[in-house]
Amino acid sequence: MAAMGKKKSNTADTTIVQNKRARFDYHLLESFEAGVALTGWEVKALRAGKAQLTDSYVMMKDGEAFLLGSQITPLATASTHYVTDPTRTRKLLLNRRELARILAAVSAKGQTCVCTKLYWKGHLVKAAIALAHGKQSHDKRQTQKEREWGVQKQRIMRDAVKQ
């Protein structure tokens, strides 16, 4: 009989970094999955979790999508061997139909495109990007109230179970 190896669990968290600020500042309307064109030192830094998406956004130029404002901090060994730019503009890889849909939406008034997270899909780095509409300040307060109420509910449930 052949030896049975352990099966890999599909529930493993493959998220590299999330942009929590985007969910707070925008109403996310439609999501897309895009590949990211990276160099070798960037992939190694992502494996070490050295990425930040806080002020990142997607810009359309000449029918292509680019990720601006994301920061990938190089590892100490990479900065001695390569010319590293932590905030360089990275190309997003999308098909023509998705690019056309994003371009049409961004051209409309009040919509933008933001990167919500970077994650692994097999050995590839993917970016979850979303078309977004900016929230008003009262919407942000409502989001904050809902979040605080969720925490309060958890405390009440936890205390009720203890008793």
Domains and CATH numbers, the chain: 15-135 (2.40.280.10)
pTM exceeds 0.75 for this model:
no
State how beta strands 57-61 and 64-68 pair: antiparallel
Reading the chain (163 residues) residue by residue, the pLDDT tens digits are: 455 555 555 556 788 989 888 888 888 888 999 999 998 888 989 999 889 988 888 999 998 999 998 888 888 887 677 778 888 899 999 999 999 999 988 887 778 899 999 999 999 999 999 998 887 777 778 878 888 888 898 888 888 887 7
Q: Which residues contact 22 (CB under 8 A, 6 or more apart)?
A: 28, 53, 114, 115, 116, 130, 132
